[in-house]
Amino acid sequence: MTQSVFVLNGPNLNLLGTREPAVYGSQTLADVEQICAAACQRHGLELVFRQSNHEGELVDWIHEAGRLHAEGKLRGLVLNAAAYTHTSVALLDAVKGTGVPMIELHISNVHAREAFRHHSYLSAAAKAVMCGFGVAGYGLAIDAMAGWKA
């Protein structure tokens, strides 16, 4: 059975390529999806790639990922919750409640930025946290996840 990897992206990540390119680079969300697809293909994994500006939609997708994980159909979740990282107990509760293995991902090094970005609600439920690798971090996260016991 082929397993899937969910890659979920939070608010404003649809603006990649034009939003603060000095911080986030010039690659678009479509470029990120291609990076993720290539990484999944290398490891024989299926990709589910989504972006939403709405917290509840992200929660619903985490629940979906959790159901697939319980059925053995999901390797894990790469979650770039963007600003919700620093505000959302709902996303934390969704990850904890579903038990889905999750890598928290940030394009920029959040620890080199504003103080409010130094706190993450999600880290407490993450199997790993990645930041500062730019969009290449997505591929690195999937490579790492591929090595997890199926």
What is d(CA 83, CA 132) in angstroms, rounded to the nearest whole number?
Answer: 15
Residue of 69, 84, 106, 138 marked active site: 106
Backbone angles phi, psi at 47, to 5 degrees: -110, 130
Tell me, yes or no, if 138 is annotated catalytic. Answer: no
CA distance 117 to 44: 34
For residue 129, CA distances in Å to 26, 28, 44, 69 come to 23, 22, 23, 20
84 in active site? no
Catalytic residues: 24, 106
